[in-house]
Amino acid sequence: MGRILTITNQKGGVGKTTTSINLSASLAATRKKVLLIDLDPQGNATMGSGIDKNSLQYSGFEWLTQQVTAADVILPTSEAGYDLLPGHGDLTAAEVKLLGESRRERRLLESLRPILDQYDFVLIDCPPALNVLTLNALVAAHGVIIPMQCEYYALEGLSALIKTIRDIQSTINKTLVIEGVLRTMYDPRNRLSQDVSAQLVEHFGEKLYRTVVPRNVRLAEAPGFGKPIMYYDPYSKGAKAYLALAGELLRRNDRRQREEST
């Protein structure tokens, strides 16, 4: 059964979608079967994967509202190597529709169950808000990856997200864990970046990924060409960082599986 990882942070502009796309591509490059779910009505992960959100026959809206099956919606990404369950603005309507239904927080999990055994990893790109779509992603997930910039306001928002995760752990999804915290858009010349990074090391310890994603122009350009960075500029610092992150995630996953089997 695939491991479901939700990539979320209610603060926008922290590299959430960039991480979703490039970690998916990097895991796929290691021959893992990966599904990326674009749960953000902005549809940026869809466009960044090279698929035009405006020409979709179906999206996550029809899937979450049970009008179609996952097989009707999932699309292959030609170059990136992972499957995509695309999203666009209709997901806002799905959110409104779910609000009036019972077990609304479990709809994503229930919709995922029939296809989980087809994938090694399912990554979910969430909207930058703690809404019913994000709640569904957290209820469905085994782990949460939190991308964040090393700046003051990012730390402030992080405490609210961690509280939400703990609330879900204590009520709906007792197996949910923080998979890791990822430092993004990191500038080592910036004193604040260094200070915040030190605080993260102190607070999260081993939960903090050793991999640090630097500020990188090529990484910012890649979505405009509908490509993960490893296919846009494989020698860039951004490409190397996300390949390193995939390796780190796989090593942690292997260690967790060994511990569970003993």
Ordered domains of the chain (ranges, CATH): 3-261 (3.40.50.300)
Question: Across all residues in the chain, what is the average pLDDT?
Answer: 91
The pLDDT, as a whole number, for residue 98 is: 84
More confident residue, 94 or 4: 4
Report the sign of the C-alpha dihedral through residues 151, 46, 236, 181, in that order.
positive
Angle between the N-to-C axes of helices 91-99 and 132-140, in degrees from 0 to 180, rounded to the nearest 10: 80
Name the DSSP class of 189.
Answer: T
Evaluate if residue 7 carries a pLDDT over 80. Answer: yes
Distance, in Å, from the CA atom of 170 to the CA atom of 161, rounded to the nearest integer, reads: 14
State the Cα–Cα distance between residues 38 and 35, nearest whole angstrom: 10
What is the pTM for the complete model shown?
A: 0.95
Query: What pLDDT score was predicted for residue 46?
Result: 96
